[in-house]
Amino acid sequence: MRKLLITALLFVTTLMYAAPKYGGVLVFGRSGDSVAIDPAHVTDGESFYASTQVYNTLVQFKNGTTIMEPGLATSWDVSKDGLEYTFHLRKGVYFHPTKYYKKRNEFTADDVLFSIKRQFDKTHPYNKIGGSYKYWGAMDMDKIVKDVIKIDKYTVKITLKKPEAPFLSNMAMDFASILSNTYAMDLLKEGKSDRLARYPVGTGPFVLVKWVKDDKMIFTANENYWDGKPYIKKLILKVITNSSVRAAELKVGSIHVMDFPNPEEIAGLEANPDIKLVKQEGLNVGYLALDQVKFAPFKDVRVRRAINYAINKEAIVKAIYAGFGKPAYTPIPPTMWSYNANVKKYKYNPEKAKQLLKEAGYPKLSFELWAMPVARPYMPNARKVAEAMQADLAKVGVTTKIVSYDWGTYLDKGRHYKDDSCLLGWTGDNGDPDNFLNVLLTSNAAKIPASNRAGWKNPEFDALIAKAKTTTDIKERTKLYMKAQEIFADQVPWVTIANSLVVEPIRKSVMNFKLDPMGKRRFNKVWFDK
pLDDT value for 14: 41
Which pLDDT band holds residue 17 (cuts at 50, 70, 90)? low
Domain that holds residue 453: 284-502
Residues 223 and 369 in one domain: no
Cα distance between residue 226 and residue 204, in whole Å: 8
Residue at 244 is within a domain: no
Residue at 253 is within a domain: no
Residues 435 and 382 in one domain: yes
- The average pLDDT across 465-478 equals 92
Residues shown for the chain: 530
Residues 159 and 292 in one domain: no
- The average pLDDT across 241-255 equals 97
Closest listed residue to residue 118, CA positions, set 66, 41, 172? 41
Residue at 247 is within a domain: no
**Structural domain count of the chain:** 2
Residues 519 and 472 in one domain: no
Tell me: pLDDT of 4 over 80. Answer: no
Tell me: pLDDT of 211 over 70. Answer: yes
Residues 513 and 497 in one domain: no
CA distances (Å), origin 223, targets 20, 72, 293, 376, 510: 16, 17, 50, 32, 20
CB 518 within 8 A of CB 432: no
User: CATH number, domain at 121?
Assistant: 3.90.76.10
Tell me: pLDDT of 13 over 70. Answer: no
Residue at 264 is within a domain: no
131-190 pLDDT per residue, tens: 999 999 988 899 999 999 999 999 999 999 999 999 999 999 999 999 999 999 999 999
Residues 519 and 461 in one domain: no
Residue at 313 is within a domain: yes
Q: What three-state secondary structure class fits 454?
A: coil
Residue at 251 is within a domain: no
Closest listed residue to residue 144, CA positions, set 155, 131, 135, 154? 135
Residue at 256 is within a domain: no
Q: What three-state secondary structure class fits 379?
A: strand
Which pLDDT band holds residue 50 (cuts at 50, 70, 90)? very high
Q: What is the mean pLDDT of the chain?
A: 94
- The average pLDDT across 443-461 equals 96
pLDDT value for 177: 98
pLDDT value for 377: 87
Closest listed residue to residue 96, CA positions, set 59, 33, 53? 53
Which one-letter amino acid corresponds to residue 379? M
Which pLDDT band holds residue 12 (cuts at 50, 70, 90)? very low
Tell me: pLDDT of 244 over 70. Answer: yes
Which pLDDT band holds residue 3 (cuts at 50, 70, 90)? very low
CB 149 within 8 A of CB 160: no
Residue at 273 is within a domain: no
CB 26 within 8 A of CB 232: yes
Residues 295 and 195 in one domain: no
Residues 6 or more apart whose Cβ sits within 8 Å of residue 69? 59, 60, 61, 62
Which pLDDT band holds residue 10 (cuts at 50, 70, 90)? very low
Determine which of 14-18, 80-84, 184-188, 356-360 has the lowest per-residue pLDDT on average: 14-18
Residues 478 and 518 in one domain: no
CA distances (Å), origin 423, targets 73, 170, 228, 330, 372: 38, 26, 40, 16, 6
Residues 486 and 516 in one domain: no
Residues 482 and 520 in one domain: no
Q: What three-state secondary structure class fits 101?
A: coil
- The average pLDDT across 13-23 equals 70
Cα distance between residue 113 and residue 104, in whole Å: 19
Residues 186 and 288 in one domain: no
Residues 381 and 431 in one domain: yes
CB 175 within 8 A of CB 167: no
- The average pLDDT across 395-404 equals 98
Cβ neighbourhood burial of 83 (10 Å; 0-12, 13-18, 19+): middle
Which one-letter amino acid corresponds to residue 271? A
87-134 pLDDT per residue, tens: 999 999 999 999 999 999 999 999 999 999 999 999 999 999 999 999
CA distances (Å), origin 102, targets 222, 459, 499: 14, 52, 45
- The average pLDDT across 376-395 equals 96
Tell me: pLDDT of 7 over 60. Answer: no
The proportion of the chain whose per-residue pLDDT surpasses 90, expressed as a percent, equals: 89
**Considering just the CA atoms, what is the radius of gyration of the chain in Å?**
24
CB 490 within 8 A of CB 289: no
pLDDT value for 455: 98
User: CATH number, domain at 459?
Assistant: 3.10.105.10
